[in-house]
Structure 1
Amino acid sequence: MINEKNPLHGITLANMLDSLVAQYGWEEMGARINIRCFNQDPSIKSSLKFLRKTPWARDKVEQLYLKSKRQ
């Protein structure tokens, strides 16, 4: 269930990535969000490390996640 005030409440970044990888796969995610951790030797661990340090990239992942849940 998506909370209207904060739709990401209670959803961890790891859960978002797991869901997105299951839905799109790494190749499609890399095409949608062009960042190295999705395009070169992708893994959940390396992506989490990068996204936790990079607010603009995390924002793009969060927006993709929200968009994927609306479909």
Structure 2
Amino acid sequence: MTQSPKDPLHGVTLEAILNSLVECFGWDGLAQRIDIRCFKSDPSIKSSLTFLRKTPWARQKVEALYIQTLKG
């Protein structure tokens, strides 16, 4: 799958996406929006990145929320 420069995820790392969402919503707000245990139980950037890199459906939800925050 090729990404065009118009793609909002183009050139943005998963870590940058996660940091942005945590800054915007905090861990509690993120856990409310995306029901993932790594956001609820002792959350950290490192553990969340590990989980998201191994779990495509969760990563898609995080990326979708990030795109939604860019639009809104």
* Identity score, percent: 59
TM-score (norm 2): 0.91
TM-score (norm 1): 0.92
Which residue in the other structure is 1:68 paired with?
69
Count of paired positions: 68
Which runs of 5 or more structure 2 residues have no equivalent in the other structure? none
Which residue in the other structure is 2:47 paired with?
46
Instruction: Give the residue type in structure 2 aligned to 1:62.
Output: E
Secondary structure, counterpart of 1:16 in structure 2:
helix
Which runs of 5 or more structure 1 residues have no equivalent in the other structure? none
Which residue in the other structure is 1:35 paired with?
36
CA RMSD of aligned residues (A): 0.7
Instruction: Give the residue type in structure 1 aligned to 2:61.
Output: K
1:66 CA drift (Å): 0.2
